Structure 1
Amino acid sequence: MTTSGDSRGKGLDQDGFFVREGSLARVPAPFAPVVAELTARLATRFAPDRLVSSYLYGSIPRGTAVPGVSDLDALLVLRTGPGDADRAAARAVEAELDAAFPQIDGAGFLLIAEDRLLGDQERYDMAWFVACLCTPLGGPDVTAALPRYRPTSLLARETNGDLHRRLPGMRERAAAAATREERDRLTRGITRNLVRTGFTLVMPRWGGWTSDLAESAEVFAHYYPAHADQMRAAARAARHPAAYPDLLDDLLNGLAPWLADTYLAVHGAKALPPQGP
């Protein structure tokens, strides 16, 4: 493992700032047609005055996607909204791509309004995510003028310092999952979230960034060896949820509450969004 005083190989430049991960040049050849079709379908489904910019994130722009296993992740920055028509258009493109390309295991889009993304509330959450972990696909890079980011406790708090609030909902969804497919999908999403939360818990001490789930679990394990086995199991289940049918309940009743409490003790709670009038 790279030592905490050396940022080389840790997703940072020589000055300790995040280096944007991923690029269109890294998209593996089997996924190039998917990305091209995504661009074409977005242009068809969204009017130019609605869609400001589009981004890719995840394993495809990082160059680590596996045909038939990896999903297609995209983020759409809208002029305003998003509204029901925007969500319907996004869902339609997701379904069309999933049906047309067997090399992806589903497509999922995040939608956010430009003013919200660039507002103070999202400065250390979604704005950081887009600026550092998303690859520009179409339109201007709306985060280009933002200050650069370092792996600080503030960033850790504002990205994942709300697990204690989300945990009851996770348990409710797990209890309500009626089919194996639904359970697997939930296991995949929750385990990914827990591994990333575990990593950001120790991110400022480690002094770097990784999106690799296995590496994230190992970095976490270095600082919290008593919980290493559970975190490693979560990382494995995030890739192959069907192989771990009973793990989700164990994590939600063991690792997750410990992680939520420890996160609050180390970094504090993520700021609540402002209340409307």
Structure 2
Amino acid sequence: MNGRGLSHDGTIAREGALEKVPAAFLPVVDAARAHIAETFGSTRLHSAYLYGSIPRGTATPGVSDLDLQLALHDGPTAADRADAEAIEAALDRAFPQIKGVGILLSSTRVLLSELERHDAGFFIACLCTPLLGPDLAAHLPRYRPTALLARETNGDLALVLPRWRARAAEATTNADREILGRSVGRRLVRTGFTLVMPRWGGWTSDLDESAELFGRYYPERVEQMRVAASTGRATSADPAALGTLIDDLGPWLAAEYTAVHGRKAPRP
């Protein structure tokens, strides 16, 4: 991998590996693997993946969360979602080194579909680390930092903004604002990065690096993007900063993204 997250052929390298998992999180990963195998079994589960800071090797005990993607043979049911929530709760209770657990559920049909080729497919092939079962990346292409990838990964920010505003209006506790702030901050930084990704010609998931790379092309907005990066990691949320991100940076970024890359293909 070169300094821009690319393989020798110029395609985006898979960013995580089980060998990169910090020692403090190895028991968490082992327990997650056991819970998933026991709960879903081979009849429901095709494969399971880690993503985020733990497989990238950058996780901080007591601060980082555990992120998992499950690929099911069929579309997820209400029972599947209940089982996933039970696993999330069990792992969160058992391991103080994680701040929370998130499990995404998708069918292999959706993950390998043409519609998701440059969004969920890219996510599996480049941002996810295999944990259980056969790797779906074997059925997906190699990806390059193109405008198509930018459009299909983050070209729907405008659709998210109304939901953020509604959640911000309903947030009554610091915990509510922290959860929202981390989601808002991370999404804005990643959108800002993919806006400039084709011009920079590489890939990174590091929030601070993403903010600074964005700032090379949009220096007038870099301070707001630095606030977004900080908010994406924060253990508390400043309501004023959160409001600025949602009501100022967010709408500007959505409009600029559409102007540069176009809108993401509509999903059902």
TM-score per shorter chain, which class?
over 0.9
Structure-1 residue corresponding to 2:135: 141
For 1:116-265, what aligned pairs fall within 5 Å after superposition?
116-242=110-236, 244-265=238-259
Q: Percent identity?
A: 60
2:5 alignment counterpart: 11
Match of 1:70 in 2: 64
More helix by share: 2
Alignment partner of 1:44 is 2:38: yes
Q: Deviations over 1:113-166 (max 9, x none)?
A: 000110111000001001000000000001212111000000000000001111
Alpha-carbon shift at residue 243 of structure 1 (Å) = 5.3
Aligned counterpart, 1:30:
24
8 Å Cα contact 1:184-1:245 kept in structure 2: no
Question: Equivalent residue of 2:172, what SS?
Answer: coil
Letter in 2 for 1:167: L
In structure 1, runs of 5+ residues without a counterpart are 1-6
Q: Which residue of 2 aligns with 1:4?
A: none
SS at match of 1:60: helix
Q: CA RMSD in A?
A: 1.1
Of residues 108, 113, 123 in structure 1, which corresponds to 2:102? Answer: 108
Partner letter of residue 71 of structure 2?
V
2:265: which partner in 1? 271
Q: How many angstroms apart in 1 are the aligned matches of 2:249 and 2:21?
A: 34
- Matched residue SS, 1:143: helix
Q: Any idea what SS the aligned residue of 1:264 has?
A: helix
Is 1:20 aligned to residue 18 of structure 2? no
Deviation at 1:247, TM superposition (A): 1.0
166-175 or 254-263, larger mean C-alpha shift = 166-175
Cα separation, 2, equivalents of 1:219 and 1:161: 19
SS class of match (2:46): strand
Secondary structure at the counterpart of residue 254 of structure 1: helix
State how far apart, in whole Å, the 2-side matches of 1:65 and 1:22 are.
12
Q: Residue type of the partner of 1:177? A: A
Detail structure 1 runs of 4+ shifted over 2 Å in the superposition: 243-246
Q: CA deviation at 1:237?
A: 1.2
Structure 2's unaligned 5+ residue stretches are none
With structure 1 as the length reference, what TM-score do the two structures score?
A: 0.95
CA distance in 2: counterparts of 1:208 and 1:123, whole angstroms: 19
Per the TM alignment, residue 8 of structure 1 is displaced from its structure 2 partner at its CA by 2.9
Normalising to structure 2: TM-score of the pair? 0.98
